[in-house]
Amino acid sequence: MLPYMIKRLVSLTISLMAASLVIFFVIEVVPGDPASFMLGLNASPETVAALRDSLGLNAPAPMRYWQWITGLVQGEFGISYTYKVPVSELIADRFWVSMPLSVYALMLSTAIAFPVGVIAAARRNSPTDVSIMGVTQLGVAVPNFWFAMLLVLLFSITLRWFSAGGFPGWEAGFFACMKALTLPAIALALPQASILARVMRSSLLDTLGEDFVRTARAKGLTRRQALWRHALRNALIPVLTIIGLQFSFLLAGAIIIENVFFLPGLGRLVFQSITQRDLIVVKSVIFLLVFAVILVTFIVDVTYAIVDPRLRRARA
Amino acid sequence: MALLEIEKLNVSIKGTPILRDVGLGVDAGEVLGVVGESGSGKSMTAMAIMQLLPVGTEWNGAVRLGGKALETFSEKDMCALRGNEIGMVFQEPMTALNPVQTIGDQVAETILVHSGKSRREARRIAREALNRVGLPEDRFPLDRYPHDLSGGQRQRVVIAMAIALRPKLLIADEPTTALDVTTQAQILKLLKKLVDEDGMGMILITHDLAVVADMADHIAIMKDGEVVEAGDTVTLFREMKHPYTRSLFEASNHVPSRNPVNVPGRGKPVIEVSGVVRDYPLPRRSLFSAPGHFRAVDHVSLAIGRGENVGLVGESGCGKSTLTRAILALDPVQSGEIKLDGGVFSTHGHGPDRDMRRRVQVVFQDPYSSFNPRHRVDRLIAEPFFLLDEQPDREERHRRINEALVNVGLQPSDAHKYIHEFSGGQRQRIAIARALIIEPSLIVLDEAVSALDVSIRAQILDLLADLSDRLAISYLFISHDLSVVRAITDRVLVMKSGKVVEEGLTEDVFRNPRHPYTKELLAATPVLDEALKAREARAAASGLGASS
């Protein structure tokens, strides 16, 4: 197990270094001059030169990359050009909205998808299965922002159970915050749960056809016991892969939902920074998101090894 | 009263009859061999006894186990019976075990499901069962996972699961078909020992007449869902009343008659393999040590002349597949040289060109998965044409496709069909046509008849012999099945741990094996006639004992 984890950690570090290089070069080196980008078309050459100087852009690229990386490691992300506050502060505030939202949505989608997928697989071709497949088909097709608006219409405007948007801040208490995140989490979770349930079902159906399930039945296990004790754990690998992908998507891809619900999350921050050409924020947030995605991949890899003993022996 | 009695068992899937009026009986302490080709319904009979038939299957008839009428049992009653009074062993040990559970847990589960015993007690019984099947504690602790074990060892675990509760009846469905001959011999011996010790009844399902003659006291021959002949093993084989029994017997001992025509250059060397080495890298033991390597093929040399058929035998892991891949130039060699028609075919750092590649073709084991199902037969067999520098024109192409199809005993009109329209034997003919079409010097037959039923196998062997006689094609015939190798090859090489340990004319090697490993292989191979003689001798001895 340990060699396997070390191997995954090494590959994680290499991916991170590669990602930081790509981000740095795409944003700072490739598309011309960030200073004139920031100041717009009408800026005078003197102003641009002054800004370049104050941003430290006159230093050679490898030097600037080194400064950026060492800063990142120490938690120094620089000062935002538009907000004039440290980027780290800006990100930290948003992170504590996006992160709980993603975790919340993921827990919801998993909690829905697992039982639904298992029931559909256990009762293959029954009316239950057919209707589950129909509903999840719809769930995959419906855009989540449109679904979010329906939720607002029903629960906020008609029933008045939830507010239509905004975030009270963690000072307001855990429950107030979770309540504010509930509708966005549902809007994010349902389409994902549909995908996950379908994956769960097909993966489980595959494993139910395996020889070892027949062996289990020949031992005297009932259909249900064979499913729970033998098929389920073997069916988890593809499901875990999808969960990992979904979490990464939720963290970075919630931009539209954050906009629908006026949530001050990372997605919104990236969106705003790009329109305001606050490149230093863009760069840092993207790096953070990449870090999160790679970390989740690592966690998924480790979970694979927990589920499947064959992976615990690290292979070269 | 017999332990198991089946009367008038009928099974149908969605209206299609699968079994018709099947009647069988097994006594305690006795082995019943059920023999038949694929589709004969022998596995379906086993699944009907277990009542584990596929969804949508209808059945009726009487199945009585120890006087209990199983047809009246509910699913819940059957769950209590399966694994407890009937144990079952399957064909494919590599997939029959749950890969994410330890062997101890899987054996203990049988005990836990059926008895109120504690986990500890269940594990103790599991340990005993594993000891009984020859997996001792010091080498096979309960917390081993299936992937640590070989095929034969996994089959032992499956057997341990089946016999842990000492059932009255054991059903073994092709338990050794996927195993090497020496492993097969060990597993059969183990099953026999368990039957004797526990007084179990056993149903042994197999396609192999020699295995069944060795193991079974009674035999039932099945064909198309019916029992065509049944009886005492010796009597059945000595009399062979039913024509199908006779044809099965003949097909399994079939030796194609040879009649080579004189083709110029016959006997001239086609392929010469000298001192070939194939290494596989092993994972590093630690971060800093140099990666080791595993020598799969160790300085192997062989030569095949024009029109000559050479057999290559050995057990799984002996390096015969690796050698094949090197001869097909699918993998580079680390040292040594392969020459084809006198020119260098492949050596270290140098592979063959397209024209050379064309002259070595291959036929694989599985006729079901070695074709693209979306192409028509003409396109499938004309595929090697892309190896030619000049593509044949439409007419020439057409002519050669027809010729290849006729050569392998099919019709030119088959060219426009899809592969799913053919049976396994016909598919293997198409695979041979694909290899033949660009007139290769050598065809590598990699277990090419191993997946086929005996009657089909006999036909394919005839076809191969005929092609070799008429066209002086050379074969490298790779197989684990010694009787087939004996029937078709002129010379044979025996491989073990990457080395050729014995080589010679096929008849000489089979009659007078010199290397201990060859002797071991031959001793482990079941032979119908010898098994029958041994059985008769035993019967005579016990008859004498009874009369004196």
Residues in contact with B145: Cβ distance below 8 Å, sequence separation at least 6, in sequence order: A309, A310, B99, B100, B101, B102, B103
Is residue B98 within 8 A of residue A216, CB to CB? The reply is yes
Question: What ipTM is given for this predicted complex?
Answer: 0.82
Is residue B111 within 8 A of residue B125, CB to CB? The reply is yes
- DSSP string spanning B107-136? HHHHHHHHS---HHHHHHHHHHHHHHTT--
> In which residue ranges of chain A is pLDDT below 70?
29-34, 36-38, 41, 252-253, 313-316
> Residue B312: which pLDDT band, with cuts at 50, 70 and 90?
very high
Closest CA to B134 of B112, B114, B119, B149: B149
What is the C-alpha separation between B1 and A50, in angstroms, rounded?
105
Give domain status of residue B131, yes or no: yes
Report the amino acid identity of residue A286. Answer: I
User: Looking at residue B369, what is its pLDDT?
Assistant: 81
Examine the pLDDT at B111 and tell me if it is beyond 90. Answer: yes
Examine the pLDDT at B87 and tell me if it is beyond 90. Answer: yes
The verdict on a CB contact (< 8 Å) between A218 and B99 is: no
Structure tokens at B438: 């660009």
A215 and chain B: CB distance < 8 Å anywhere? yes
What is the C-alpha separation between B20 and B11, in angstroms, rounded?
7
Is residue A123 within 8 A of residue A205, CB to CB? The reply is no
What is the C-alpha separation between A218 and B436, in angstroms, rounded?
46
What is the C-alpha separation between B484 and B208, in angstroms, rounded?
13
A230 and chain B: CB distance < 8 Å anywhere? yes
How many angstroms away from the CA of B387 is the closest CA of chain A? 36
Residue of A6, A203, A215 to mutate for B, most B C-beta atoms under 10 A: A215
Give domain status of residue B416, yes or no: no
User: Looking at residue A218, what is its pLDDT?
Assistant: 93
A242 to A142, A202, A238, A239, B239: CA distances (angstroms): 19, 13, 6, 5, 63
Give domain status of residue B215, yes or no: yes
Examine the pLDDT at B283 and tell me if it is beyond 80. Answer: no
The verdict on a CB contact (< 8 Å) between A222 and B75 is: yes
Examine the pLDDT at B368 and tell me if it is beyond 80. Answer: no
The verdict on a CB contact (< 8 Å) between A215 and B114 is: no
Examine the pLDDT at B263 and tell me if it is beyond 60. Answer: yes
* Mean pLDDT, residues B361-378 taken together: 86
- Pick from B81, B98, B114: CB nearest A234: B98
- Pick from A214, A220, A310: CB nearest B84: A220
- Pick from B52, B95, B145: CB nearest A210: B95
Among the ranges given (A100-109, A251-260, B98-107, B195-204), the one the predictor scored with the smallest mean pLDDT: A251-260
The verdict on a CB contact (< 8 Å) between A217 and B52 is: yes
How many angstroms away from the CA of B497 is the closest CA of chain A? 23
Exposure string of B435-469, with b = 16+ CB inside 10 Å and e = fewer, is bbbbebbbbbbbbbbbbbbbbbbbbbbbbbbbbbb
Is residue B203 within 8 A of residue B195, CB to CB? The reply is no
Structure confidence by residue, pLDDT tens digits, B415-461: 898 888 888 888 889 999 999 888 888 999 998 888 788 888 888 89
Q: What is the CATH T-level fold of the domain A87-311, as seen in this structure?
A: MetI-like fold (1.10.3720)
CATH number (domain holding residue B196)? 3.40.50.300
The verdict on a CB contact (< 8 Å) between B82 and A222 is: no
Give domain status of residue B344, yes or no: no
Let me know if A276 is exposed, middle or buried by CB neighbors in 10 A (0-12, 13-18, 19+). middle
Structure confidence by residue, pLDDT tens digits, A160-214: 788 777 788 778 788 888 888 888 889 889 989 999 999 999 999 999 989 999 9
- Pick from A220, A309, A315: CB nearest B114: A220
The verdict on a CB contact (< 8 Å) between A309 and B92 is: no
Q: Could you tell me which chain A residue has the CA closest to the CA of B76?
A: A222
A224 and chain B: CB distance < 8 Å anywhere? no
- Pick from B145, B161, B281: CB nearest A309: B145
Question: In chain A, what are the domain boundaries?
Answer: 2-73, 87-311
User: Looking at residue B287, what is its pLDDT?
Assistant: 62
What's the total number of domains in chain B? 1
Give domain status of residue B442, yes or no: no
Residue of A208, A217, A219, A315 to mutate for B, most B C-beta atoms under 10 A: A219
Domain that holds residue B208: 22-56+73-252
- Pick from B76, B82, B281: CB nearest A219: B82
Examine the pLDDT at B357 and tell me if it is beyond 90. Answer: no
Give domain status of residue B314, yes or no: no
Among the ranges given (A42-46, B31-35, B63-67, B331-335), the one the predictor scored with the smallest mean pLDDT: A42-46
DSSP tag of A170: G
How many angstroms away from the CA of B287 is the closest CA of chain A? 9
Structure confidence by residue, pLDDT tens digits, A109-121: 999 999 999 999 9
Instruction: Work out the mean pLDDT of chain B and round it to a whole number.
Output: 89
Residue whose entry in the numeric block shows the structure tokens 């995908």? A195
Q: Could you tell me which chain A residue has the CA closest to the CA of B110?
A: A219
The verdict on a CB contact (< 8 Å) between B147 and A310 is: yes
What is the C-alpha separation between A88 and B163, in angstroms, rounded?
65
How many angstroms away from the CA of B303 is the closest CA of chain A? 36
Among the ranges given (A163-177, B38-52, B105-119, B182-196), the one the predictor scored with the smallest mean pLDDT: A163-177
Q: Which one is predicted more confidently, A31 or B76?
A: B76
Cβ pairs A/B, distance under 8 A: 79
Residues on chain B touching A217 (C-beta within 8 angstroms): 52, 82
Residues on chain A touching B291 (C-beta within 8 angstroms): 316
Let me know if A222 is exposed, middle or buried by CB neighbors in 10 A (0-12, 13-18, 19+). middle
Angle at B274 between CA B271 and CA B275, to 5 degrees: 150
Residue of B43, B100, B144 to mutate for A, most A C-beta atoms under 10 A: B100
Q: Could you tell me which chain B residue has the CA closest to the CA of A305?
A: B100
User: Looking at residue A14, what is its pLDDT?
Assistant: 92
User: Looking at residue B548, what is its pLDDT?
Assistant: 42
Give domain status of residue B522, yes or no: no
* Mean pLDDT, residues B67-83 taken together: 91
- Pick from A222, A225, A307: CB nearest B100: A307
